[in-house]
Amino acid sequence: MGWSCSRILDAVGYDVVRTQIVNDRGVAICKSMLAWQKFAEGKTPGSTGIKGDHFVGDYYVLFENKTKEEYEAWQQTAAAKTLYAEKHKPDQSEKDFFKDYKNKWFNDHSQLGVEVRDMLLRWEAGDPDTVALWQQMNNWVYAGFDETYAKLGVAFDKLYYESDTYLLGKDIVDDGLRKGVFFRKDDGSVWVDLTDAGYDQKVVLRADGTSVYITQDLGTARMRYHDFGCEKMVYVVADEQNYHFIVLFEVLKRLGEPYAGGLHHLSYGLVELPTGRMKTREGTVVDADDLIDEVVNLAWENARERDTELTDIDPAGRAEDIRRIGLGALKFYMTKVNPRKKMIFNPEESVDLQGQTGPYIQYSHVRINGLMQRVEKEGVDLAPAKNYTAYRPEEKELLKALHEYPNTVLAAAREYDPSHIANYCYNLAKSYHRFWHELSIFNAESAQAKAFRLVLSRAVGNALKSGMELLGIEMPERM
């Protein structure tokens, strides 16, 4: 979503800088580290043949499973039974009580919880062994990320790491206290009161002086402005963080930050599979790499079913075209829906050549490419096209659609919504499909009609290629 929006904004004239903030510290990171330390027996991505980010992610899931086992055992103790007897609500079952109590148990009773918090404190204190383990495991993850981004054709101009930025913002909080934007409570914590704007009070610094997420984000926003002088900043983060960004942007406005009027949260809905929602802690996630492999494999299967495996070209070229078809299917399916809507991704539907899919549009482009190759091979004269005026309804439909392309791109940029372009490309391909079946091109009724339809086809092909490129989708040479 972010990559596509960056390309769209670039196309309409913005000077775009692509940045990423990597969450590389905190309790979640320490959970993976502790699980590896306790249970891995020295295994590495290299020794297991598992991609680095998947390898580390597996230990996060292992930690959660070990915690679940610990919690289930604790619930059978006398202390847990006594707690339930004393604290449960009249209509609350034992199962529901302990479901609600899990986080407090982890903080107050879990041995694994004690160990993971101790590891975080050692990291923040700069303990050499802990920092070395953290660097090793993060490097495994970064290597995996880079591999996935390369598959997707995504790149960044600058990376910000939370380990470098989590202390930022404290000076801004001090400045906000002097300006009266923030206030200090009796326990020493610092808050902002947003009730006059219809929100609530929000902590910006804990009583012990440590940062919260918004503290860091205040500092990171200022750092990005100082680094690049941006007039606008677009945050591409899931809709679970909608309220966080409402508060962040309101606070930055009250602080008088010069860029505060140009902030936008590109909020996107969650993606589910036909089998239901995915959960990281339970390991019921689908890695991007697995999803890429699945749609590419489905593209191969479709080619074999149609007996069009492109066997007349070299294997490398055939594999590259299938890769483009598979990734086109994935990216188009993800971008054709308004970002704010939740969606169900169905891999089988995404590669359907007859549906509202990337491959359907790619096929139209490949068909047009075939026409243009024939034009070049036969030396067809396209000059008579300028004398053609007897426009048929199918031709008028395409002309109107081509006229709307620039406005569509502008709307997508203005609303940070690639689905405008995805749906435009699909509708244009569908109109071209009707044009193709209703009108003769090379056997047209006149030289003028033939030339015009070829020129019109070329213009449609250019628009399809341009639009799909804005979605990060490459066109195959053959299908």
pLDDT tens string 107-155: 899 999 999 999 999 998 999 999 999 999 999 999 999 999 999 999 9
Our measurement of the distance from residue 442's CA atom to the centroid of its chain's CA atoms, rounded to an integer in Å, reads 44
**Higher per-residue confidence, 14 vs 289:** 14
Determine, yes or no, domain membership for 478: no
Same domain for 444 and 343: yes
The residue-averaged pLDDT of 28-40 equals: 96
Same domain for 163 and 146: no
Residue 9 tokens, joined: 């904004």
The residue whose two tokens read 């969606």 is 343
d(CA 107, CA 356) in angstroms, rounded, equals: 49
Residue 151 tokens, joined: 């598959």
Same domain for 183 and 106: no
Determine, yes or no, domain membership for 132: yes
pLDDT score for 462: 97
Task: Say how many Å lie between the first and final Cα of the chain, rounded.
Answer: 26
pLDDT score for 352: 81
Are 110 and 70 in contact by the 8 Å Cβ rule? The answer is: yes
Same domain for 165 and 41: no
Same domain for 308 and 455: yes
Determine, yes or no, domain membership for 479: no
Amino acid 191 reads W
Residue 319 binned pLDDT confidence (cut-offs 50, 70, 90): confident
pLDDT score for 350: 82
Determine, yes or no, domain membership for 415: yes
Are 414 and 348 in contact by the 8 Å Cβ rule? The answer is: no
pLDDT in tens, 392-402: 999 999 999 99
pLDDT in tens, 67-95: 999 999 999 999 999 999 999 999 999 99
**Helix ranges, 43-188 (H):** 45-48, 52-74, 78-87, 94-108, 111-124, 128-152, 162-165, 170-179
pLDDT in tens, 249-275: 999 999 999 999 999 999 988 777 776
d(CA 347, CA 332) in angstroms, rounded, equals: 11
- Min mean pLDDT across 40-54, 148-162, 303-317, 324-338 is at 303-317
* Residue-range definition of the domain harbouring residue 408: 288-470
Residue 313 tokens, joined: 């070209």
Residue among 281, 212, 326, 232 nearest 60 (CA)? 281
Domain final position from 130, 155, 180: 155
Same domain for 235 and 351: no
Sign of CA dihedral 375, 381, 384, 386: positive
Same domain for 191 and 235: yes
Flag whether pLDDT at 295 surpasses 90. Answer: no
Amino acid 371 reads L
Same domain for 171 and 140: no
Pairing verdict, β 158-161 and 182-184: unpaired
Same domain for 188 and 254: yes
- Min mean pLDDT across 140-154, 194-208, 306-320, 337-351 is at 306-320
DSSP state of 284: B
pLDDT score for 285: 67
Domain final position from 114, 138, 155: 155
pLDDT score for 311: 54
pLDDT score for 276: 55
CATH number of the domain that residue 343 is part of = 1.10.730.10
**Higher per-residue confidence, 350 vs 387:** 387
Sign of CA dihedral 462, 464, 467, 473: negative
pLDDT score for 280: 47
**Residue 273 — φ and ψ, nearest 5°?**
-100, 165
Residue 11 tokens, joined: 């196309």
Distances (CA, A) of 97 to 12, 91, 107, 109, 193: 55, 10, 16, 16, 33
Same domain for 257 and 345: no
Determine, yes or no, domain membership for 145: yes
- Min mean pLDDT across 210-214, 287-291, 437-441 is at 287-291
Same domain for 42 and 151: yes
Contacts (Cβ under 8 Å, ≥6 apart) of 255:
172, 175, 176, 179, 181, 218
Domain final position from 123, 155, 187: 155
**Higher per-residue confidence, 339 vs 416:** 416
**Higher per-residue confidence, 339 vs 390:** 390
pLDDT score for 168: 87
d(CA 450, CA 439) in angstroms, rounded, equals: 10
d(CA 280, CA 300) in angstroms, rounded, equals: 29
Contacts (Cβ under 8 Å, ≥6 apart) of 302:
351, 353, 359
Determine, yes or no, domain membership for 15: no
Are 94 and 88 in contact by the 8 Å Cβ rule? The answer is: yes
d(CA 120, CA 283) in angstroms, rounded, equals: 23
Sign of CA dihedral 443, 445, 451, 454: negative
Residue 130 tokens, joined: 């802990």
d(CA 310, CA 304) in angstroms, rounded, equals: 9
pLDDT score for 369: 95
pLDDT score for 156: 96
- Domain total of the chain: 3
Q: Which residues of 391-430 are buried (b: 16+ CB within 10 A; e: fewer)?
A: eeebbebbeebbeebeebbeebbeebbbbbbbbbbbbbbb
Determine, yes or no, domain membership for 280: no
Flag whether pLDDT at 281 surpasses 50. Answer: no
Determine, yes or no, domain membership for 184: yes
CATH number of the domain that residue 220 is part of = 3.40.50.620
d(CA 404, CA 328) in angstroms, rounded, equals: 23
Percent of residues, the chain, with pLDDT higher than 70 = 96
Contacts (Cβ under 8 Å, ≥6 apart) of 360:
352, 353, 354, 426, 429
Of 179-183, 212-216, 308-312, the range with the highest mean pLDDT is: 179-183
Same domain for 462 and 344: yes
